[in-house]
Copies of this chain bind each other. A is one copy, B any other.
Amino acid sequence: MNKKITLKQLAVISNFSVSTISKALSDNNEISTETKKKIKEIAKLYNYKPNAMARSLKSKKTKTIGVIIPNILAHYFAKVLVGIEHEVSRRGYNIITCISDESYKKEVKSIEMLASGSVDGFLVSLSKESQIKNNYDHFTTVIDDGLPVVMFDRTSNAVKCDKVIINDFEAAYNATNALLESSCKKIIFVSPIGGTNVGIERANGYRKAINDYFKDTVKPEVFNFTDYTVFTDKLDAYLEKNRPDGIVTSDELSAIFAMNLAISKGYKIPEELAIIGFTDGILSRNSNPPLTIVNQNETELGRIAAATLIKRIEGKAQSEFITHVVETAIIFRKSSKKIVAV
């Protein structure tokens, strides 16, 4: 056990003072080239690494970022995390990751835990529960304390901060339209995230598309759910009684669920039932048939969110908060039909 060496010990060894060594190692030009060289050699020899905590205490910068996401098992968040991690580590930062599990309480606990000097700022996507409770005091508190927050995906207007999102309304509108243009006549919307701003916006985009297309003669049908078993039963019953020919979902997994259920009930995909979901994940690329989806550029979004936060942390951001809207695009695969030229 080769305990870490400190500046002080290096001082004894080298016969220089602590401050000289500190300066030498940070290439301060108060120090002669000669001495610098000597000191650097000794430092290398003893494998000196400045203690991160001491440095943080002094500088009030931790070079670490708190990331709070609802659920790492959803491929969407995993991909965003990859983008965040890349950008952050490129810039010499680290991330402390907390999973809120969609719980308000865990979210608050994580924030509080990290807000007392552990991180320089936060990257967060709101938990479902927080959005339903509509309580974001924990965020305004840390922002007041001087810790910047950047929200992505699930955001709230109640919190004044930078945001990185997609245009959920438009994306869902376009997704629905894609099915309409491939001559679907009876399209339903399915969502496990009804309580979130994202879910609400996407549902509205779907509604608008239906209303625009059918001039309000057809009623949009939105299925919100939280429990997959309940959802399966409900959708099963629906498919039994009705013959929808299109499903738009607000995420990836429920699209796969819906598709598998429909297949098991004998629906031909996409001829009798076309499906489009959100997130270009591992599921949609490998389902059978592969799923048509709205690509949200998750990794890019993560990267932008991280860059935005770091800019803010380092004081290089403009004073007004910005909302960055990431482009989306539909990736057509076999779960939907060709679009019919009008």
Which residue among A1, A62, A79, A116 has the maximum number of chain B CB atoms within 10 Å of its CB? A116
Chain B proximity mask over A286-306: 1 for CB below 8 Å, otherwise 0: 111000000000000000000
Given A81-B72, A260-B288; A118-B99 close (CB under 8 Å): no
Nearest CB in chain B: distance from A84 CB, A: 10
The CA-CA distance from A283 to B291 in the complex, in Å, is 13
- Which listed segment binds B: A51-59, A176-184, A207-215, A316-324? A51-59
Interface residue ranges of A122-139 to B (CB < 8 Å)? none
- A94 touching B116, Cβ below 8 Å: no
The CA-CA distance from A109 to B85 in the complex, in Å, is 14
Given A99-B85, A257-B286, A288-B288; A117-B53 close (CB under 8 Å): yes
- A282 within 8 Å of B (CB atoms): yes
Q: Which residue from B78, B98, B283 sits with its C-beta under 8 Å from A283?
A: B283
The CA-CA distance from A304 to B167 in the complex, in Å, is 41
- B116 touching A50, Cβ below 8 Å: yes
The CA-CA distance from A97 to B109 in the complex, in Å, is 19
- A3 within 8 Å of B (CB atoms): yes
What chain B residues lie within 8 Å of A110 (beta carbons)?
89
The CA-CA distance from A49 to B49 in the complex, in Å, is 29
